[in-house]
Amino acid sequence: MVGCVITAADGEIIADGYHRRWGEAHAEVAALAAAGGRARGGTAIVTLEPCAHRGRTGPCCDALVAAGIAEVVFAVADPNPLAVGGAAKLAAAGVRVQRFEHAGSNELTLPFLKRISSGLPWISAKWAQSIDGAVALANGDSQWLSCSRSRRMVHRERGRVDAILTGIGTVLEDDPRLTARDGRSTRPQRRVVFDPDARTPLDSKVVDGTLPTTILVRADAEAPVVARRRRLAEAGVTVIELGVGDSIEPALRILATEGVSTVLVESGGGLVGRLIRERLLDEAWIFVAPILVADDVARRCARGLMPEVLAAIPRGRLLSVRRRGSDALLHYRWTMATPAATTLESTHMIKT
């Protein structure tokens, strides 16, 4: 996600643009197209250093120079070894270049920085809970904790990620479709199920063929598991093996090589707890409903960890608090992908 604003010499905003989707025009090219001849002598302000290489699109540096841009200001240095060097190339062409640290640009770019630096996709989890932290009653009933406006937002977010990840417990209990039904999908999607023993039923909705489905299974499986995973593969499901101890990280790395950059987790507490334990969870969207369950055995958003001291638990950054209908939406992040990001202060905003 990259944005670009072009201003005239007097600071007046001429045009803006952003990178809409992979393979299409980068933010700088989109902004230049909107500005036309007015861009000559102006300033391009970009969230990410303009690229200097030719991939699916041409180098943004060349486009900026050709358009007669006099100055480029960018917030985040490009970590991609294939695209690095844009600032130097612009300066060599006579363009004034400066870097300006900007907290919002750092946050915007973190998913890209993580993928480039670690080879892992950006992992977001979402859940709805009561004020006292219950995500479902002891019997599993959770419909509906969140309000209709919150649920519509979840469907929009499904359409903005590359994969939706859930656990086998959720598949067996709820039989979800894991599709974006309210709003348009902007990315090619797949459904991913953490299912070490290949228990996903062949008649479940995630195996209906409407979207590609991947099952993450145990590598050293016994004969019954091997037979079940073979039947799933015959039904058109892709099978990826988990790591030692059912670690999900190796499978996520494979998904990243197949074009999965962003993952939305919609599951019970077991899978969320595993992602936390493996230090893979990057952010959480938490919808807090205005109810108190007050049930000692109600289900929680994460489980499986037994920390002994609070000081050992990583603390997240609260990015925002918003109102979604009758719910409060809390947005937290944990990943510190760049040195600059570690100095970011939380922004606490109330929006209606």
Condensed to tens digits (0 to 9), the pLDDT of residues 30-79 reads 999 999 999 999 999 999 889 887 766 678 999 999 999 999 999 888 87
Residues lower than pLDDT 50 in the chain: 336-352
CATH architecture group of domain 3-100: 3-Layer(aba) Sandwich (3.40)
What does the pLDDT read at residue 137?
86
What is the maximum alpha-carbon separation in the chain? Answer: 72
The beta-carbon contacts of 240-243 under 8 Å, at least 24 apart in sequence, are 240/214, 240/215, 240/216, 241/216, 241/217, 242/194, 242/196, 242/216, 242/217, 242/218, 243/219
C-alpha triplet 257, 85, 41: angle, nearest 5°: 120
Burial of 80 (0-12, 13-18, 19+ CB in 10 A): middle
CATH architecture group of domain 121-351: 3-Layer(aba) Sandwich (3.40)
The H-assigned helical ranges of the chain are 27-35, 60-66, 86-92, 103-118, 148-158, 168-174, 223-234, 249-257, 269-277
Give the integer Cα–Cα distance in Å for 330 and 318.
7
Peptide bond into 22 cis (omega under 30): no
In the three-class reduction of DSSP (H, G, I as helix; E, B as strand; rest coil), residue 98 is classed as strand
Give the integer Cα–Cα distance in Å for 47 and 244.
39
Give the integer Cα–Cα distance in Å for 149 and 64.
42
Domain boundaries, the chain: 3-100, 121-351
Name residue, tokens 């707890």: 273
Backbone angles phi, psi at 229, to 5 degrees: -70, -30
Strand order, beta sheet including 71-76: 13-18, 3-7, 43-48, 71-76, 96-99
Residue 234 appears among annotated catalytic residues: no
DSSP state of 344: P
What does the pLDDT read at residue 123?
95
The reported pTM is 0.79
The catalytically annotated residue of 24, 28, 241, 266 is 28
Q: Torsion-angle region of residue 72: left (phi > 0), alpha (psi -120 to 50) or beta?
A: beta
What does the pLDDT read at residue 150?
86
